Structure 1
Amino acid sequence: MTATADPGPRRDVVRQSLSVGVATGAYGISFGALAVAAGLDTWQAMALSLLMFTGGSQFAFVGIIANGLHAAPAAIAASSMLGVRNGRYALELTHVLGVRGTRRVAAAHLTIDESTAVAVAQDDERTSRLGFWLTGLTVFALWNLSTLAGALVGGHVGDPRTYGLDAAACAAFTALLWPRLRDRDAVAVAVVGAVVAVLLSPTMPPGIPVVAAAAASLLAWRTPRREQA
């Protein structure tokens, strides 16, 4: 009788990847509509999603176009902080993915919040790699398709945020995070990050609250370990 690997973890990571990918990809409708409203044409909006493929920086770019050069400092600051965050993701994933050659280019392009979150949520390298690639490719495909849809319908549907699409990705992240809050330290770290993000979001440019929350969470995670040592 031949032993077979338990398909349970594989099914779980596929379900997580597709749910996060669909929730995030749908929000590309908002970017497409806002890009056209800011003065870009459909092909320019599509080029940004295909080549830039980092939602926060894309929205920051559109903000400069829509609001003029006086909005540039905040948008540039936000984009820079988002770039720093993605660089940190790359360092985290290097030993997990183990990619070489041209695959490193593809991996770099798909290193985003969603693919990183699903990858690090897994218990072994095989499922982490599956989660990274499946989530990244799902988001990439749906983000570009929904960008096209949003650009084509333009102002006919109004602001897509009124339909709650901006909350869909957050809900998917929360669902992904929830099962990992198994002890008091994990809950404390999550609470610290959430409080910092909520306090800074009303006054700081997009991207900065996320990085600040990550830094605060890291400090909260390190503190009990120093005490134990």
Structure 2
Amino acid sequence: MGHDSRSAIRRDAAGIAAYAAAFGASFGAVSVASGLSVWQTMVLSLMMFSGASQFALVGVIGSGGAGLAAVPTALLLGVRNAFYGVPLTRILARRDLTGPRRLVTAQLVIDETTAMAVGRDERPEQRYAFWVTGLLLFVLWNSGTLVGAVAGSSIGDPATLGLDAMVPAAFLALLWPRLRTAEGRWVAAGGALVATALIPLVPAGVPVLAAAPIAVVAGLLPRRGREAAR
């Protein structure tokens, strides 16, 4: 892996981490406004490290729901990260998946790190992208969360600043390179169709879980086909 490749990965990771810091600040403010203390907000952010799940949890609490109702919603949204283990086990080194280090690896398995990793062609670049993106995001997301929590309600409603649109916009930017092929477009369309159809019928988080296996299966089939051809 050359210097140019490393620089490009660091540049992309820094861009993603920048939005994470801003969105983390909005989460910190919303969490405190929902009734959590600063230290509770930080423990939640450090341990869960999943923006959608964190917002879902504090959203339920903020609307008057009990913790027993908030936790399942957050878990449903977070379970999708388990599917990312399928491609990542082929990318990461053995030492990343064994011993105490696997706990750190598991904590960093999120949408952005997976997209950055699978978007590279060579395994060294993929592994480098995973770790650089994951560590930068973890530090800046939680730093932003602390700033937002301390500032409290001074940030106000994230929607008024447009911060609520930053996560889907950033993830779409990560997804876009995968849509260059017909196969990628079909997988994306199938997943979107399933998720959209289920939104009015099932609890929050279930549409994502139902759509995720489509991408996982599609990602495995071509590889098996190529191996069979050999």
Tell me, yes or no, if structure 1 residue 182 matches structure 2 residue 180.
yes
Tell me, yes or no, if structure 1 residue 101 matches structure 2 residue 68.
no
Please give the alpha-carbon distance, in whole angstroms, between the structure 1 residues aligned to 2:183 and 2:155: 44
Size of the alignment, in residue pairs?
224
Q: Secondary structure at the match of 1:27?
A: helix
AA of the residue aligned to 2:73: A
TM-score, normalised by the number of residues in structure 2: 0.82
Percent identity over the alignment?
48
Seen in structure 2, the aligned counterparts of structure 1 residues 45 and 76 have a Cα distance that, compared at 3 Å, is closer
Please give the alpha-carbon distance, in whole angstroms, between the structure 1 residues aligned to 2:78 and 2:103: 16
Q: 1:19-40 deviations in whole A, cap 9, x for unaligned?
A: 2222233211221111111111
Structure-2 residue corresponding to 1:63 = 59
Q: 1:32-90 deviations in whole A, cap 9, x for unaligned?
A: 111111111111111111222222332233234323346844x3443332343222223
Structure-2 residue corresponding to 1:124 = 122
TM-superposed CA distance for 1:200, in Å, is 4.1
Please give the alpha-carbon distance, in whole angstroms, between the structure 1 residues aligned to 2:125 and 2:223: 28
Seen in structure 2, the aligned counterparts of structure 1 residues 102 and 209 have a Cα distance that, compared at 3 Å, is same
Please give the alpha-carbon distance, in whole angstroms, between the structure 1 residues aligned to 2:133 and 2:12: 8
TM-superposed CA distance for 1:111, in Å, is 1.2
Structure-2 residue corresponding to 1:7 = 3
Query: Which of 7, 17, 24 is matched with 2:20 structurally?
Result: 24
Contact 1:118-1:128 at 8 Å conserved across structures: yes
Query: Which of 6, 31, 38 is matched with 1:35 structurally?
Result: 31
Q: 1:110-165 deviations in whole A, cap 9, x for unaligned?
A: 11111111111111111111111111111111111111121122222211122222
Tell me, yes or no, if structure 1 residue 49 matches structure 2 residue 45.
yes
Which ranges in structure 1 are unaligned for 5 or more consecutive residues?
Answer: none
Query: Which of 82, 85, 89 is matched with 1:90 structurally?
Result: 85
Which ranges in structure 2 are unaligned for 5 or more consecutive residues?
Answer: none
Structure-2 residue corresponding to 1:161 = 159
